[in-house]
Structure 1
Amino acid sequence: MPADAQQATLVGRAWVEGQGAILVKVEGDALVDLSALAPTCSALLERPDAAAAVRAHAGKRLAALGEVLANSGADRRVADLPWLLAPCDLQAIKASGVTFVASMLERVIEEQARGNPALAQSVRKEVVAVIGDDLSKVRPGSPEAEQLKQVLVSKNLWSQYLEVGIGPDAEIFTKSQPMSAVGTGAEIGIHPKSEWNNPEPEIVLVVNSRGETVGATLGNDVNLRDFEGRSGLLLGKAKDNNASCAIGPFIRLFDAKFGIADVRQADLAMLVVGPEGFRMEGASSLKQISRDPLDLVAHAIGPNHQYPDGLVLFLGTMFAPTQDRFGPGQGFTHAVGDAVAIFTPRLGTLVNRVNTSDRIEPWRYGVTALMRDLARRGLL
């Protein structure tokens, strides 16, 4: 939970057997039903007074917060207790890529290595020797960025990743479908044929249909480096499979205690613990993002693209692991059974365990099932 949870306006979704997905808020040490305030998270965030309305709402107590958190682990769920789902529901799940210099360089390396981890170390040395390892002073879309592009083109090192990293247009893509994200405690999926992949600890902005950024949460935008490195046209397979992203544990709504200024200053920590005892720590700081978070929102929604149910937007990560795991020069890749924890003090901790997407419980609860359950409960 956030370090200042008692001051935070936190909303999420919980699975309740016999009822389905229920919108909830955190109130002290309990989860409280918000269904009478709004049937869905998307509808709640359309309210101009969402944070104040949530704080004022006196709903039914569902369960103790600690019990629900403990019951959210995929391997230990008890059917008669709620467990947490991803806090968003009908919103589009979008992501922005190549928004940090460190990860931008690694994307160039992936491309140059054609997705082969064995080649990454030598390619990394070659790329850094030509373009350096500090592009943080280059403002995307600026005349200086255009000059750098021309230099790199002349050296045959221009890349699709540099184009979106320092060019005028941000990369905004569809990460996965509405309601397909998993919540804290759930298994998160990698494609069974992927041999080079990594977690991506990120902050996720929550945006309503009017383009207003109304809250934030944590996300893990798992990346298959080998698939995407082979071809940018494999982005769909690299990014969208069963349980391919986790979001949670709760959305922290913007209010007088927390807002976009706090997001801009956030530092994320990440810990991966493997079943064989492997341990890797990482960090990602929003202070080093190359495009402002609200600028990324403006690239995602506006006159050219609308989202009637709102969207959630992964902001990208500066974390690109190079720590060797299975052999010298091969860098990092996941193993089945890895536990991944992503933490920042004002948003709490998102924890998931890695499995292959074909072995994780299939995604079956979509919009049709949600609407059926809401109608049965008299909420539509």
Structure 2
Amino acid sequence: MRYYRRFSGGEYRLLAVEDETAYDLTAVKPRLDSFGDLAAAASISDEGVDRLASELTDTAPVVDVDPAAVSRPVVPEEVWAAGVTYEISEEAREAESGMPKMYLHAYEAERPEIFFKATPSRTVGPGEAIGIRADSTWDVPEPELGIVLYDGSIVGYTIGNDVSSREIEGENPLYLPQAKMYERCCSIGPAIVSADSVDDPHELTMTMEISRNGEVRYEGETSTGNMARTCEELVEFWRDHNTVPELGLLLTGTSLVPDDGFTLRPDDEVRIEIDEIGELSNPVIEV
């Protein structure tokens, strides 16, 4: 199943989509208004989120999914991210850095690069503006498959945009937190697809398009099959010797990297699409 969180009439509602039919689960269980609530209930009852949702769709009203009313499908307590998981990402970060060998080592090493990305207040949802730093002149979106975890277990997948300052990170790798974590640095959405609904998260097509003044300035396509590491491996390293949040999100890296001469500008529009999940679209502002 695919899950959306809709905000309308001053309240949030959890929608489950099965065979292109959307059901309002909150209408059946008013306290169930987020995917996190559903994951918690499924964990308590020791059953999958889809099975629990299916028990509610029999009596849930059928509704429309209004893209304009869709918000972040999940508000994770913490967002973490993995880097240099695709060869082209490793090459791009080598090119921007004065210390290129460290990125090649991270790409080839047993231990992946995993870093803290965002708190809930630094994330935005579909249609909301992502931010580029006013003290940076080279800023890019990074479209990524996001792994949704509840109590350390993979329960679903979503789309994430790990907006980054290549200028700040390239100046010195120790500046990575400033290049990665700031206001509106991460978008999430538009939906969560349950883990049971995805046959193989490593066989998903991902596309990104960046428009400026109605003109497409960048478009690219890749597959999660090009990842050098598996989702399970990344999750294992994130959890290892670490207290992970009850509801968390781990981004898995990108291979869609605009040319070196390109930087995001205010009023640009970034559209990211991943098979089975949908399209995440965000305008750009300076922060």
3-state SS of 2:232 partner: helix
What amino acid maps onto 2:247 in structure 1?
G
Query: CA separation in 1, counterparts of 2:62 and 2:135?
Result: 41
2:124 corresponding residue in structure 1: 182
2:252 corresponding residue in structure 1: 315
Query: Aligned runs of 1:361-380 on 2, under 5 Å?
Result: none
- Confirm whether residue 12 of structure 1 aligns to residue 4 of structure 2: yes
What amino acid maps onto 1:52 in structure 2?
R
**Structure 1 contact 97–315 (Cα < 8 Å) conserved:** yes
Tell me the CA shift for residue 292 of structure 1.
1.3
**Structure 1 contact 196–225 (Cα < 8 Å) conserved:** yes
Match of 1:109 among 95, 107, 120: 95
Tell me the CA shift for residue 161 of structure 1.
1.9
Name the TM-score, length of structure 2 as normaliser.
Answer: 0.88
- 1:262-303 alpha-carbon deviations (Å, 9 max, x no partner): x1111211111112735211123211111111101111114x
Q: Measured at CA, do residues 246 and 31 of structure 1 come closer, stay the same or move farther in structure 2, by a change above 3 Å?
A: farther
**Structure 1 contact 43–309 (Cα < 8 Å) conserved:** no
- What runs of 5+ residues in structure 1 fail to find an aligned partner? 1-8, 72-82, 113-156, 323-329, 358-380
What amino acid maps onto 1:41 in structure 2?
F
1:356 corresponding residue in structure 2: 286
What amino acid maps onto 2:38 in structure 1?
L
What amino acid maps onto 1:310 in structure 2?
L
- Confirm whether residue 267 of structure 1 aligns to residue 179 of structure 2: no
Higher strand content, 1 or 2 = 2
Match of 1:254 among 192, 195, 207: 195
Q: Measured at CA, do residues 342 and 214 of structure 1 come closer, stay the same or move farther in structure 2, by a change above 3 Å?
A: same
- Confirm whether residue 191 of structure 1 aligns to residue 133 of structure 2: yes
Q: Percent identity?
A: 28
- 1:204-253 alpha-carbon deviations (Å, 9 max, x no partner): 111111x3212111111112100111122222221122221111110001
3-state SS of 1:45 partner: helix
Greater Rg, structure 1 or structure 2? Answer: 1
**Structure 2 contact 93–100 (Cα < 8 Å) conserved:** no
Match of 1:172 among 101, 104, 114: 114
- Confirm whether residue 42 of structure 1 aligns to residue 36 of structure 2: yes
Match of 2:267 among 308, 322, 337: 337
Query: CA separation in 2, counterparts of 1:350 and 1:216?
Result: 13
Higher mean alpha-carbon deviation, 23-32 vs 50-59, is at 23-32
What amino acid maps onto 1:87 in structure 2?
P
**Structure 2 contact 209–220 (Cα < 8 Å) conserved:** yes
1:284 corresponding residue in structure 2: 222
Match of 1:84 among 65, 70, 78: 70
What amino acid maps onto 1:245 in structure 2?
C
**Structure 2 contact 25–53 (Cα < 8 Å) conserved:** no
**Structure 1 contact 42–91 (Cα < 8 Å) conserved:** no
Match of 2:231 among 276, 293, 318: 293
3-state SS of 1:216 partner: strand
- 1:126-170 alpha-carbon deviations (Å, 9 max, x no partner): xxxxxxxxxxxxxxxxxxxxxxxxxxxxxxx66332232112211
3-state SS of 1:264 partner: coil
Q: Measured at CA, do residues 309 and 110 of structure 1 come closer, stay the same or move farther in structure 2, by a change above 3 Å?
A: same
What amino acid maps onto 1:12 in structure 2?
Y
Higher mean alpha-carbon deviation, 44-53 vs 183-192, is at 44-53
1:133 corresponding residue in structure 2: none
Query: What value does the CA root-mean-square deviation take over the aligned residues?
Result: 2.3
3-state SS of 2:169 partner: helix
3-state SS of 2:159 partner: strand
3-state SS of 1:175 partner: strand
1:215 corresponding residue in structure 2: 156
Q: Measured at CA, do residues 308 and 335 of structure 1 come closer, stay the same or move farther in structure 2, by a change above 3 Å?
A: closer
- What runs of 5+ residues in structure 2 fail to find an aligned partner? none
Tell me the CA shift for residue 336 of structure 1.
1.3
- 1:69-101 alpha-carbon deviations (Å, 9 max, x no partner): 1x2xxxxxxxxxxx2221112442111011111
Match of 2:276 among 339, 343, 346: 346
What amino acid maps onto 1:18 in structure 2?
G
Q: Measured at CA, do residues 239 and 22 of structure 1 come closer, stay the same or move farther in structure 2, by a change above 3 Å?
A: farther
Tell me the CA shift for residue 40 of structure 1.
4.0
1:32 corresponding residue in structure 2: 24
Query: CA separation in 1, counterparts of 2:62 and 2:72?
Result: 17
Name the TM-score, length of structure 1 as normaliser.
Answer: 0.67
Q: Measured at CA, do residues 309 and 23 of structure 1 come closer, stay the same or move farther in structure 2, by a change above 3 Å?
A: farther
- 1:56-79 alpha-carbon deviations (Å, 9 max, x no partner): 2147659521xx21x2xxxxxxxx
